[in-house]
């Protein structure tokens, strides 16, 4: 299997049979090997730097009913919240003082957040923090809205495609949601000029090796600037409550595959990976990730943005825990970079 990994590293692509073999037969030794190759490639481009992004969870209200997600519309047990403009700007100020130069506004698809309100918020962040990047992760919107947000000063947009297989998409989402629209949104975001991120949950219910191959191929075709890979984790109040969590090894394997195929992409070591097992965040970095997204949301709301059971939001996962994060990264030979960390091909 090492020759397959070597080929992936030099050619940045694999024939489908070899990709299938790697996904199917990756033993502990191969995983160790591909993680090391991916780490070397990340280090060649980013040194020992890990970029930080301040995550502001702006609303847990959502019109969608994704079967896996804890803040889905049908979950009546969620205490819903929506941050005000002042509160979001307060998070940015706190983040700026801590050294963050990217703010990520993420939330459910909250119809009560009108385009006008969002534009006002983006414009305010842009004028107060001209040196910072603004990333949005607010789901599917019209081309016109995406364009207005881009013109208002947003630079990046995260929208995981979740799965490139339309039938699998239907297993994860109710019929109202459209796989075609999700994929089209990603193409639109790229066309507009957003640094665009997509990705998947590893081990989502019903996911097969063939689905993963299609995901890898789609991402190869789309060439996003950011790739978000984390394990699926069940949430107790969703239809997938009893489904098994995604597996650490497979998540690390995919992370390394994406790093070898997309050497300069921005790839986070996700909160879900940190939640899956102790040391998960560090293992993600050692498998080729180069971004972490500490939580800048107001402390009193953090628990309410519970996408899955026991979602980490404290300690090194919290923006105010940067020193702890720095210490954990130092222990594996890395350091926090406070640069804005734009995509650089
Ligand atoms: N509404 C926006 C969207 O759809 O892109 C952004 C918020 S959504 C909660 C962000 C991401 O959380 C999703 O793309 C999904 O991959 C991830 N997520 C949701 N539930 C999850 C779960 N149970 N386990 C792991 N990741 C989950």
- Sorted by where each starts, the structural domains of the chain and their CATH numbers stand as 48-226+234-243+272-279+295-329 (3.20.20.70)
Q: How far is the CA of 29 from the centre of ligand 1 (A)?
A: 31
Nearest protein CA to atom 20 of ligand 1, as residue: 69
Any ligand 1 atom below 6 A from CB of 108: yes
Position 319 scores a pLDDT of 79
Position 309 scores a pLDDT of 95
Among 160, 173, 178, which residue has the most ligand 1 atoms within 8 Å of its CB, making it the best to mutate?
A: 160
Residues forming a β-bridge with 107: 59
pLDDT digits (tens), the chain, 345 positions: 999 999 999 999 999 999 999 999 999 999 999 999 999 999 999 999 999 999 999 999 999 999 999 999 999 999 999 999 999 999 999 999 999 999 999 999 999 999 999 999 999 999 999 999 999 999 999 999 999 999 999 999 999 999 999 999 999 999 999 999 999 999 999 999 999 999 999 999 999 999 999 999 999 999 999 999 999 999 999 999 999 999 999 999 999 999 999 999 999 999 999 999 999 999 999 999 999 999 999 999 999 999 999 998 888 888 789 999 999 999 999 999 999 999 999
Which numbered atom of ligand 1 lies nearest the CA of 159? Answer: 5
Q: How far is the CA of 51 from the centre of ligand 1 (A)?
A: 21
Which numbered atom of ligand 1 lies nearest the CA of 160? Answer: 14
CB 230 within 8 A of CB 251: yes
Any ligand 1 atom below 6 A from CB of 137: yes
Which numbered atom of ligand 1 lies nearest the CA of 233? Answer: 24
Q: How many CB atoms lie within 10 A of CB 135?
A: 24
Alpha-carbon distance of 247 to 245, in angstroms, equals 6
Q: What are the angstrom distances between the C-alpha of 127 and each of 122, 130, 154?
A: 9, 6, 11
Any ligand 1 atom below 6 A from CB of 338: no
CB 230 within 8 A of CB 161: no
Among 104, 231, 246, 307, which residue has the most ligand 1 atoms within 8 Å of its CB, making it the best to mutate?
A: 307
Q: How far is the CA of 307 from the centre of ligand 1 (A)?
A: 7
Among 157, 161, 201, which residue has the most ligand 1 atoms within 8 Å of its CB, making it the best to mutate?
A: 201
Q: How far is the CA of 167 from the centre of ligand 1 (A)?
A: 19
- Tokens representing 73 are 């519309």
pTM: predicted TM-score of the whole model, two decimal places? 0.97
Any ligand 1 atom below 6 A from CB of 205: no
Which numbered atom of ligand 1 lies nearest the CA of 235? Answer: 23
Position 171 scores a pLDDT of 98
- Tokens representing 30 are 């191969």
Which phi and psi (to 5°) does residue 308 adopt?
Answer: -150, 170
Angle between helices 85-98 and 115-128 (to 10 degrees): 30
CB 83 within 8 A of CB 301: yes
Position 174 scores a pLDDT of 98
What's the half-sphere exposure (Cβ side, CA atoms, 13 Å) at 50?
A: 30
């Amino acid at each position: 299997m090492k020759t397959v990994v070597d080929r992936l590293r030099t050619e940045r692509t694999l024939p489908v049979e070899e990709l299938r073999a790697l996904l199917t037969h990756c033993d502990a030794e191969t995983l160790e090997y591909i993680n090391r190759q991916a780490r070397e490639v990340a280090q060649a481009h980013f040194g020992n730097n890990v970029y930080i992004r301040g995550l502001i969870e702006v609303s847990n209200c959502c019109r969608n009913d994704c079967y896996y997600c804890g803040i889905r519309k049908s979950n009546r047990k969620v205490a819903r919240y929506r941050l005000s403009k002042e509160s979001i700007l307060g998070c940015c100020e706190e983040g700026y003082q801590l050294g963050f130069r990217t703010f990520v506004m993420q939330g459910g698809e909250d119809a009560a957040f009108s385009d006008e309100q969002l534009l006002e918020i983006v414009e305010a962040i842009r004028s107060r923090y001209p040196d910072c990047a603004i990333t949005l992760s607010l789901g599917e919107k019209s081309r016109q809205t995406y364009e207005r947000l881009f013109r208002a000063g947003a630079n990046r947009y995260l929208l995981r495609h979740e799965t490139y297989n339309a039938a699998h998409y239907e297993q994860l989402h109710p019929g109202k949601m459209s796989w075609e629209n999700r994929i089209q949104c990603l193409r639109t975001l790229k066309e507009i000029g957003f640094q665009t991120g997509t990705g998947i949950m590893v081990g989502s219910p019903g996911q097969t090796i063939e689905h993963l191959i299609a995901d890898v191929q789609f991402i190869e075709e789309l060439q996003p600037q950011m790739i978000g890979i984390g394990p699926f984790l069940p949430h107790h109040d969703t239809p997938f409550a009893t489904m098994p969590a995604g597996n650490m090894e497979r998540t690390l394997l995919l992370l390394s595959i994406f790093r070898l195929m997309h050497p300069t992409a921005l790839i986070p070591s996700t909160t879900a990976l940190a939640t899956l097992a102790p040391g998960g965040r560090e293992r993600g970095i050692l498998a080729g990730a180069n971004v972490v997204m500490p939580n800048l949301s107001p402390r009193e709301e953090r628990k309410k943005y519970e996408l899955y059971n026991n979602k980490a939001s404290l300690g090194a996962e919290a923006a105010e825990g940067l020193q702890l994060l720095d210490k954990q990264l130092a222990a594996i030979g890395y350091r926090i970079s406070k640069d804005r960390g734009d995509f650089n091909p």
